[in-house]
Every structure is written in structure tokens, then in C-alpha cells.
Structure 1
Amino acid sequence: MTRSSYRKKLLLLTIVVGILTLSFVSTNLRVVETMITIFYGEKIPKTKKINSYTITVDFDPVERILTGNEYIKYTNDENTSFNALYFHLYPNAFKDEKLVPFEKSEMKYAYPKGFEQGYIKIHSIQKNDVPLNYVVMGVGESILKVHLDTPLEPGEKIDLKIDFSVKIPPSCGRFGYGEDTINIANWYPILSVFDKKGWHLEPYFAIGDPFYSDVANYRVEILMPQEYVLAHTGECVKKESIDGKIRWTLEGKNVRDFSMVASEKFKVIDDQINNIKIYSYYFNDQFGDLALDVAKDAIGIFSETYGEYPYKQFSVAASDFFIGGMEYPNIVFIDKTLYTEEKKEILEYIVAHETAHQWWYGIVGNDQVNEAWLDEALTEYSTLLYYEKKYGVKMEEQVYKNLIVRYYNAYKDSEHNKEQAVCRKLNQFKNSQEYQALVYYKGAMFIKNLRKQLGDEAFFKAMKIYFDKYKYKNASTEDFIQVCEKVANKNLRGSFKKWIRYDKE
């Protein structure tokens, strides 16, 4: 995500050394493991089985409530059995004014007409038509714990059905509505990530993008009034007229999340690059085309630099969204007030930044709560690369000095801002200004320095290998270091420690 203050933002092939497929069938015929050798014999981590969500909801435009159900097909791909599964209920972060994911200084922008609740209600959970016990827990009741009637053993699958309803608040953020758009993001029960640290049950922090998820396959059916135009993750595979409404059937494969933006006022234009359809949803007659052109160019630049964008569409949606920009798979939300002559440079920067997030967060995921620097620093530096590749090195240097170094130095030179740790948990940053100065600006400065240390050939080789190795997976700082060290054939840990204060746990 880009938090815009409106002052700030003015080899050569994917390396595959060899493919070695080894299939091992256990005595119960359940375990099939494929390992791919791509670089000096190093192996890609086992690809997790793709889980799926099938979500069907009706939208009430008067009450602004979504009502429906969700079917989840989940495979226990871990080496331990589960007696319960955990889901995030992000809409419940909007129930209590004291717990909403905004800083106090942001509330007048987040709720321009005053606070009203948003929430999600769980009505029932079933496994094969048999009700399961569950509890809603955690900070702001943002975690759903589903008790399983029998342990889910490694390799076993489970099908769950969750009936739920969601109240959308009058909030101009990721989840909420304003004068022109309804932003439907982080809105359904989504499985928590289980990794070597266990289940990740962190709350919806006000700072950063506190989301950590695995890729999944989605099929979403939403029934809306026919006046609405819908921008969305995935592809629209069907539109049906039903009693004066439209049922949109959407499918997203290998995506980390699923979001939508609805509006009765959207204008839409599109273009294409490398057989990828690019859409721009906007309101004014000006600058919808600028957003489209930036997105198209960015998709082309990052595809060539890191690896091909693997989806068939990408959308840029102007929104009632005061924070600047926010990334979701196949779609980004952009503050509609940026579509003006005075702010068109900021618009370009933010669209380029959020498009880069399709690579760093969307395709290659990471723990955005505990290691937010990893996707944000790579994305912020990728934004500089957009300017370099499109306009030349001089433009990149100008943008770097004026929009990165300048604001980082302003932070550093303040007598109250002595903290320099970039790699830390979201709730360890005192405010969004500190978070942005360190995670975005200093993070981008570090990646630029890393490129200088490695040289262009090794740096871009490392980036392509990192992208290819962790495509559709979650990576960590340690994973990134190991790829860079392997390519450079040198120890880089001192540099990571110096710049971002990273020490291996």
C-alpha cells in the first residue's frame, strides 16, 4: 500500500538449470512430492496444495449488507494434525470505534460523515451438513476458531460451509463506502496462515498492511443491482440478469485474496499488453487514460524485469480511498482525488507502485505483519525501476533524490526520530510516518544499494530467481538473503544487518 500525503510522490530469462521431478508414493498413496532443481542444485520448497473458496453473496444496496455463504476446500499440508482451523474476520475490526484500523489523525478522512459500525456475523459452520462448534475470539473478535469433530491429519482434506453476513461501513478505506464507490476488501472469512511459527492470528493493525495469506483458487458469485459496475480480482466468466439485478460470476486462480470495487458511476476503458487486458475504472474525463497507460507500461516493465505477469487481467480502480493506493490480486484501489492536473505526477507514482505489488505481495507473498519491509521495499524500489526503464536513469535519480532520500532524511534528521530498524513487526512502529520513512524509503535505499553491491547482472538475476522460486508461495527475509548470497557468491548478512537491522532468529 502507498500512504500518500500528497507532498511525497511526484538471466534476462528466468533461470531454470534443470527440472527434476521425483514422485514418492507412500503406503497410503497420499503423499506425492515434486521438487524442482533450478539453481546450483537448490530445490524449490514443496508447493502446497491449492485450497479453494466458493463464495456466493447477495448485496443489499440500501443496508449495504452482503449475505451468503462460503465453501472452503482445505488440505492439511503440514506435518502435524489439527483439532481446529482458524480464520481472520477482518470486518470485525470496524465494529468498535476505539479499535478501527486507523490512526486518530486519520479518522476524519476515514469517516467523513462520522463513525458507523461495520462487521461480519457468522451464522453457522458445517462439515458435510453436520454443524461444527466455533468461537469468535481475539482482538475485536477478529479471529474465528472452528473446532473440528475429528483431528485433521497430515494430507487429509476437509470441506467446510460457512454462512455469514457482512455490514459495510461508511469508511473511505479498504473496506467501506463513500460517495462514489463501495470498496469490498478483506471482507470474508479467510484462512489464517500456518507456518513454522504456528497459526498467525495477529489483529488488524492500524499501521501498514497487516495481512498474511496463502494463494487459493476462488469462485465468487455476487448479486448486485444492475446499475453497478464491478471491478474485481480474477476474471468475469458470466453475467446473468436476474429480476432486474446482475449476478456476476468471477474466478481467480492462484490468488492471495479476493477484492472488488463497485460503483454506479464508473467509466471504463481498456488496453492490452502481452495478451493481458488492462482496465481503468474512473470518474472524470481526464486521467483515466493516464492510469491505464501507467498500468500497461508497468506490467510490461516488471514482466520483463522479474518474470511474466501470470494472470489475464489487471484493473486500476479510482475509489473513495483516502490513503493513496492499495494492492490486491489483479486490482488496485487508487484515491479518486489524485485524478487531477495538480496531482497527476502522484497518480503516476502510486499506480506504478501498486502495480509492482502484483509481484511483491501478490505473486511472491510474505508475512506483512512481521516482515512488512520485504514486499514494500522491493515494491518501492520497483517504482524507481519503472521510471528508469520508461524515462531513463536521470529521471530515476531525480525521483529517488526528491521523493525517497529527501523524505527519509527529513525523518532521520528530526531529533525525535532516531529509530532505524526497518525489519520489525507493525505494532513496533510508533506511527505511519515512521513506518513509511523506514519501510518504504530506507527499504528502497537499501535495495538500490544492494543492486550497486551485486552489480546489475547479478542483481537482476537474483530478482528473477527469487520471483521464480517463490511464485505463489510465501517468502521470508531469510529466503531473500539466501538467493542473493547464492547468486553473488558472497556473504551479504552484514549489509542486511546494517541497513534494515535484520538478524537471523
Structure 2
Amino acid sequence: MKQQIKRKLILCSVVLLSLTMSFTIEKLDLLDGTAAVFSQREKRSKAAANEYVIKAEFDSVEKLLVANEKISYTNMSDTNFQAIYFHLYPNTFKTKDTVPFDEGEMMLAYPKGFEPGYIQITSVESNGEALNYAILGVGETILKVNLNQPLESRSKIDLEIIFTVKIPPSNGRFGYGENTINIANWYPIAAMYDSRGWNLEPYYAIGDPFYSDIANYRVYITMLPEYTLASTGNIIKRENIGGKALWTIEAKNVRDFAMITGEKYKVLEDEIDGVKIKSYFIDDTYGDLALQTAKDAVGIFNKAFGKYPYKQLSVAAADFFIGGMEYPNLVFIDQSLYQEDHKDILEYVVAHEVAHQWWYGIVGNDQVNEPWLDEALTEYSTLVYYEKKYGNDVKENVYKNMIARMYQAYHVPGTESKEKIYKSLKEFDNAREYQALVYSKGAIFIGELRKELGEQMFFQIMKVYFDKYRFKHATTEDFIKLCEQISDRELQDYFNKWLNYNQE
């Protein structure tokens, strides 16, 4: 099987999705939302600890971003810090040896040939005082900022980083193509510090190697006025200054900040439950389908899991060969899906990426060491979208052709005990294994868990899980314990059987 995707939905078997998809099926009502989750539900929304203010100017000719980043960083651990670490993801794109693409994908990622992308740090200061720093890690993707004095627990420090970013000609998360400039994972972002210490994993080629805490952002970006911009957060204003456009964007309680821009964008808008939905598309085909799918998905997931807490969500067609990718309030969708032959898969990918707004975007997890947690829930949530929108027959057809069939193509009977869903990105041998186990078998497991617990109990648990861990990080153990607590059942062995997960 030709592997063109290591992270997102494999686009083989595209035609299978439409076998029994009848749009005459009446929409099902969702849970009426009256089931009591807990008589006294916790609303423990975590306030963002860190604040980013980024001022950047985009050079459309050289494809450069020249930027100033001010970070108000709070040490939320119980340990004093001698240094603070940041991820420098753009440096992954410096060489062919470190880019997050398989050899067979290079022509898709770099259709006009490889050119490097990178981030160059000019200076790091705190209150006008220069700080020593070092560039470390695989592909020079870690910035270590040495502090002049220890940062005590619960104390705050203000940092300023001057940097330049070179955007490569890559049709991936970070890069540009014929129509769009994808500006994601582009600035120095604080590494997570948890019970294991600093999380300094590299930019793996498989999966989403990102793990970050919520933060507040204020971003100012200057570019030529002919560009249309979609981004994380809310666009506060667009001003014309000196022949250029200055965009001011504000985003609160988000795990990352991404943008995408292009000169050919057309935009459609709609609204549901007080959330503005925007569809950015390039050609005149199926921008409306992407918009309707996102709108319906938000409505369905609002009722099934909990209310989307932001004011907007944008779906942007992109020069992006990997299918789809989620960022807070923004998803990238492969532009090639916006055509008649792929419209069914377009709907699937958009629904999947919108579901990620709930699982990883709002309820966070360590995508490097526990990638199954958000991906399995997201893949299964995609089935919930079809079930609630079109009915159970369509949902079962999608399940058989997009999930069960994908898993069966990988599965060898009798090897279930070796199919470990619960493992880190570096433990997967290839993208095919990751897709089959994390996405497909993970979604199969969530479906079986729903049967095991019962309809009402399952969705009750999902609502409490969302409510309890919104703007926080959850672990596999947290999810298991919550399932046990609400269902009043012992489920550790059940999870262990499916995930090959053993509590340490």
C-alpha cells in the first residue's frame, strides 16, 4: 500500500464511503442533553498561565517572517527552574534528513524540489537584560534559555525573543504552495514541564508530535493587503498602514497559534450556537460543503460532549497533501479534496478535524506519549457525526469502510496481544501501523466501550470528561478512572485488554 499519510486520514478507499450514503435519511436527534452528568458538575476551567505577544512581518517574496515575541511565563511546577525550554519546530525543515516526511512523500511535500525552512534566534532578553541560550536537540529544535537567577515555583518571568522564520516550499503543516502559505508550529513555544520533567521530544514523522499547555495570545502580523488571513483566535481588526495590512488577532485559552493565508481565498460564513463558522476555499466547488459540515459537526458535538467555548472556527482549504490538520479554531484541509470525486472524503476529514477541537484542542493530552487518547476519541466522534446527522445505517457503512476495513487490512488474526494501541510515537514502526492501531482499532475500542457501558452512560461519561478536563491535560489513567467512577464498575482489565495498557 502506498503510504502518503503519516498523520491524517489515509485517502485510499475513497469511493467506498459513498456506497450507501443516502441523503434522504432523516437526521437523528442528539441526546436531549437532559441527562444529569453529576448533580454538581465541576467547572474547573484552568486559567492560562502563559501570555504571548507576537509582532511579525511577512515578506511574501522571500517567504520570511521577522518577529518579536514577548512571553510572560509562569512556573506552575513545584520545582525552581534554572532554565526554560522552548520548541523550535521550523528547524525540522532545515535538511532532508530531518523533515517530517517519508522518502516516498518528498515529491508530494516538495513538488518543486527541496529548499530548507528554519527559525533563527537573534536574541533572548528579560527586562532588557540579555540571557544566554543554546540551541539543542534533534534537528536543533530545542531552545534552552538559561536564567540569570532561578525562577521559583509560582513565580513569573517576562522574556523577549527576536527571531526570523524562513518558510519552505512544502505542502505540509509549515510551508507554502501554489495557493496558500501554511504558518503553523512557527514560533518558539514553551515546552511542557510535567511529572516527567521537561518534554523535549523531536518533531516525529509519525503522528502529531505536539504537547503544549493553554496560553493567551495577542498577535500582530503585517502583510500585503491582497492576502486573506485565517487564524486561531479572533481577528480584532485589519488596518491599512503604509500600503500593507496589519492584522490584530486575539486568542485566549488555546494550546497553539496557527495561521494560513493566500491571495485567492473566497470566504463563506454561517453561525451555530453563537459560534461563527468560516469556510476559506480557492475554487468555486464545495466550499459550501466544508462550511455545512463544520457547522453541523459543531452543533452535534456541542450536544454530545459539551459546548465549544470559542467564538469562531475556520476551515481552510490548503496546499496540504496530508488530508487535514487541526489547530485551535482553525483546520487545514487538502485542497484536492474539494472536488466531485472526493466530496465524501472531504466531509469525513472536515468532521474529523472539527472533532479534534474537543479532543486535544479543549481537552488536552500528551500527543507524543499517549496519541491514542485524542485520536481514538476523535475518530469515533466522526462516527457520532454521521450517526446523528444521517442515521445509524450511514454511520455503520462509514464504520465498515473507513475504520473496520482499514484495521482489517493491517490485522493478522491471532496477533491481537501484540497490537499495542497505547504507546508513544517513537514506538510505532511506520505510518500504517499507527493508522491501523491508533485511529482504527482505537475507534473500534471506543465503540465497544459504548456498548459495554450502555448508551446513556457512555455519553454521560464523555460529557463529564470534557467538563472536567477542559483547558487541562488528561491521561489514559484519568480517562479510565473517570469511566470507573461514573459507571461504578471495575474497567481496568477491560482497558488493558484493548489497549495493551498496564498501569505502572
Question: 2:96 aligns to what SS in structure 1?
Answer: coil
Q: Are residues 416 and 115 of structure 1, via their aligned partners in 2, closer, same or farther at CA, if it must alter by over 3 Å?
A: farther
Aligned to 2:26: none
1:407 is the counterpart of 2:406: yes
Listed one character per residue, the Cα deviations across residues 444-500 of structure 1 (whole Å, up to 9, x for unaligned) are 000000000000111111100000000001111011111111111111111111111
Structure 1 match to 2:222 = 223
CA gap of 1:193–1:48, structure 2 versus 1, over 3 A, is farther
Q: Is the 8 A contact 1:55 1:221 kept in 2?
A: yes
2:456 maps to 1:454: no
Name the stretch that deviates more: 408-417 or 194-203. 408-417
* 2:10 corresponds to: 4
Amino acid at match of 2:8: T
The structural deviation recorded for 1:417 is 10
Query: How is 1:272-283 mapped onto 2 (pairs within 5 angstroms)?
Result: 272-283=271-282
Q: Deviations over 1:195-224 (max 9, x none)?
A: 111110000000000000001000110000
Contact kept, 8 Å, 1:14 with 1:307, in 2: the verdict is: no
String of CA shifts for 1:299-351, please: whole Å, max 9, x gaps: 00000000000000000000000000000000100000000000000000000
Q: Percent identity?
A: 59
1:269-296 per-position Cα deviation (integer Å, ceiling 9, x unaligned): 1001011110000011110000000000
Which amino acid in the other structure matches residue 499 of structure 1?
W
Aligned-partner SS, 1:59: strand
Structure 1 residue 16 displacement after superposition: 4.9
Matches within 5 A, 1:343-492: 343-413=342-412, 419-492=418-491
Q: How does 1:15-414 map to 2 (within 5 A)?
A: 15-18=37-40, 47=46, 49-413=48-412
**Match for 2:11: what amino acid?**
S
Q: State the Cα distance separating 1:6 from its structure 2 match.
A: 3.8
- Provide the C-alpha distance between the structure 2 equivalents of 1:70 and 1:356, rounded to a whole number of angstroms: 30
Deviations 1:33-56 (A, max 9, x none): xxx5x7xxxxx6x94652110000
Q: How far apart, in 2, do the equivalents of 1:410 and 1:18 lie? A: 45
Structure 1 residues 400 and 3 mapped into 2: Cα distance closer, same or farther (>3 Å)?
closer
Instruction: Pick closer, same or farther for the CA change 1:343–1:235 going to 2, 3 Å.
Output: same
Task: Give me the whole-angstrom Cα distance separating, in 2, the residues matched to 1:474 and 1:14.
Answer: 24
Q: Which moved more, 1:330-339 or 1:73-82?
A: 73-82
The answer on whether the counterparts of 2:136 and 2:143 sit within 8 Å (CA) in structure 1 is yes
Q: 1:404 to 1:434 in 2, by over 3 A?
A: same
Cα pair 1:12 1:305 within 8 Å, conserved: no
Extract structure 1 runs of 4+ deviating beyond 6 A.
414-418
Given that 1:54 and 1:71 are in contact with CA atoms closer than 8 Å, whether structure 2 keeps it comes out as yes
2:353 counterpart letter in structure 1? E
Q: 1:426 to 1:252 in 2, by over 3 A?
A: same
Shift of 1:18: 3.4
Distance 1:335 1:418 in 2: 36
Q: Deviations over 1:111-141 (max 9, x none)?
A: 1111100000000000000000000000000
SS at match of 2:403: helix
Q: 1:133 to 1:298 in 2, by over 3 A?
A: same
Does structure 1 conserve the Cα–Cα contact (< 8 Å) formed by 2:49 and 2:76? no
Partner of 1:27: none
Q: Give unpaired runs (5+ residues) of structure 2.
A: 1-6, 18-32
Tell me, in whole angstroms, the C-alpha distance in 2 between the residues paired with 1:14 and 1:364. 20
Is 1:69–1:164's contact at 8 Å kept on the other side of the alignment? yes
Q: State the one-letter code of the partner of 1:4.
A: I
Q: Which amino acid aligns with 1:249?
A: T
Structure 1 window deviating more from structure 2 (449-458 vs 489-498): it is 489-498
CA contact (8 A) 1:174 1:184 kept: yes
Partners of 2:415 and 2:241 lie apart in 1 by 59
Q: Give the letter for the 2:37 counterpart.
A: I
AA aligned opposite 2:10? S
Q: Could you tell me how far apart the structure 2 residues matched to 1:4 and 1:283 are?
A: 23
Distance 1:417 1:99, change over 3 A: farther
Q: State the Cα RMSD in Å.
A: 1.7
Secondary structure of the residue aligned to 2:39 is coil
Amino acid in the other structure paired with 1:251: E
* Structure 1 Cα separation of the partners of residues 263 and 332 of structure 2: 16
Instruction: Report the Cα distance in structure 2 between the residues aligned to 1:140 and 1:416, rounded to whole angstroms.
Output: 36
Q: Is the 8 A contact 2:48 2:214 kept in 1?
A: no
- 1:15 CA displacement: 3.3
| Unmatched 5+ stretches in structure 1 | 20-35, 39-43
Q: Is the 8 A contact 1:412 1:418 kept in 2?
A: no
1:49–1:77 contact (8 Å) kept in structure 2: no
> Which residue of 2 is the match for residue 22 of structure 1?
none
Structure 1 CA distance for aligned equivalents of residues 418 and 188 of structure 2: 36
Residue matched to 2:495: 496
Q: Residues 422 and 223 of structure 1: is their aligned pair in 2 closer, same or farther, counting only changes over 3 Å?
A: same
Tell me, in whole angstroms, the C-alpha distance in 2 between the residues paired with 1:111 and 1:288. 26
CA contact (8 A) 1:14 1:464 kept: no
8 Å CA contact 2:13–2:401 kept in 1: the answer is no
Q: 1:49 to 1:248 in 2, by over 3 A?
A: closer
TM (norm. structure 2) is: 0.93
In structure 2, C-alpha distance between the alignment counterparts of 1:105 and 1:14, rounded to whole Å: 51
